[in-house]
Amino acid sequence: MTTIELDGVSKRYGETTAIADATLSIADSEFFTLVGPSGCGKTTTLRLIAGFEEPTSGTIRFDGEDVAGVPPENRGVGVVFQNYALFPHMTVAENVGYGLQFTDPPGDLSPDERVQELLALVDLAGMDDRDPDSLSGGQQQRVALARALAPGPRVLLLDEPMSALDAQLRESLRLQLKRIQSELGITTVYVTHDQEEALSVSDRVAVLSGGAIEQIGTPQAIYRRPDTPFVARFVGDNNVFSGRVTVIEQDDETATIAIEGASIHAAIPADRSIDRGDTVTICVRPEYVSVTASEDDRGKKSGGELNRLTGSVVSSEFLGETTRVHVSWGETELLVRTTDPIDGQVTLAFDPDAVRIVSVGS
């Protein structure tokens, strides 16, 4: 049972602030992911939790206890890095059992029994005597995971563990990792720059940008209810644009926003206060936009969809299940999805509830 808290944690390297005033709580057994573009401070945050670095300011607690000054080997953390960092001169079993020279295995198991248990857990039973070099990248990474887990750490820390693997292997390995993590119920912090990976494996995700936490939430909340323009753009395909509020209607439930000479109606979230004249940034996911050829659309009633825009198709990308279509609308390019090919003038329709207001300025 381990919780992790960061309370106002900052880390500076000379002039560079790698992470600024980070506050977050990770629950026991949670799969928590730090995601963001290169240089946003993910690895620094993980290294601070591991104890490889000490914060410039702020406090880190494990189960409510300040871990300042506690070295990594005494924090009970298992760490897996991007480059598997296996010992090349040791067999698979010797690699997995490495940490058991310094710590007794959990439970009543002997070191050998513990190694066998871990090899079975990561689906590498029978590979004991193999050299790490003779294994595939995915297998090597599973050895690294088994090695990190063998001493029975309270926390598992993973820094881009899949980034050296090809796409198909990444998908199967992340399913395996998720299964192992929930089987063990170990509190896990995972670092990745891949937003799809973050959404697919995590209980909750923190999106970082420029050393700051932009948003923390479940994958569903991060995807459906981004709180900032950065999160709206970083996670999944999205249409993000800014305009000025011209009308507030229905007891503050709907705002009309002037963008590209059109009026877009947006539901106002309960937690936002918006006034006429404010500049807002809004987003609409492509999958919420219906797209029809404009000539098929003539005379059609709007059918409850208050937002209708006309544009022209610029390009299409066939993705298999759907086609991603780029539509020019004034100065703006919009992304939509269709199942059938479409070209020429198109009408885009979407509901005010599909429009998310992500920032408000004056």
Task: Please pick, from the candidates 24, 39, 240, 305, the single residue that binds ligand ATP as defined by CB under 6 A.
Answer: 39
Cα 326 to Cα 233: distance, rounded to the nearest angstrom: 16
Provide CB contacts within 8 A for 299, sequence distance 6+.
none
- Cβ distance to ligand ATP smaller for residue 165 or 255: 165
Cα 95 to Cα 189: distance, rounded to the nearest angstrom: 22
Binding positions for ligand ATP, 181-210, rule CB under 6 A = 193
C-beta of 211: minimal distance to ligand ATP in Å? 7
C-beta of 193: minimal distance to ligand ATP in Å? 5
Nearest to 239 by CA among 248, 229, 247, 253: 229
| Residue reference for tokens 């009633």 | 301
C-beta of 42: minimal distance to ligand ATP in Å? 4
First to last CA, the chain: 46
Q: ∠ CA(180), CA(181), CA(187), 5° rounding?
A: 160
- Cβ distance to ligand ATP smaller for residue 41 or 352: 41
C-beta of 37: minimal distance to ligand ATP in Å? 7
Task: Please pick, from the candidates 2, 44, 215, 256, the single residue that binds ligand ATP as defined by CB under 6 A.
Answer: 44
Establish if 13 lies at the interface with ligand ATP (CB under 6 A): yes
Cα 334 to Cα 280: distance, rounded to the nearest angstrom: 18
- Cβ distance to ligand ATP smaller for residue 36 or 78: 36
Classify burial at 91, counting beta carbons within 10 Å of its beta carbon; exposed 0-12, middle 13-18, buried 19 or more.
middle
Establish if 116 lies at the interface with ligand ATP (CB under 6 A): no
C-beta of 308: minimal distance to ligand ATP in Å? 41
Give the binding site for ligand ATP (CB under 6 A).
Answer: 13, 16, 18, 36, 38-44, 193
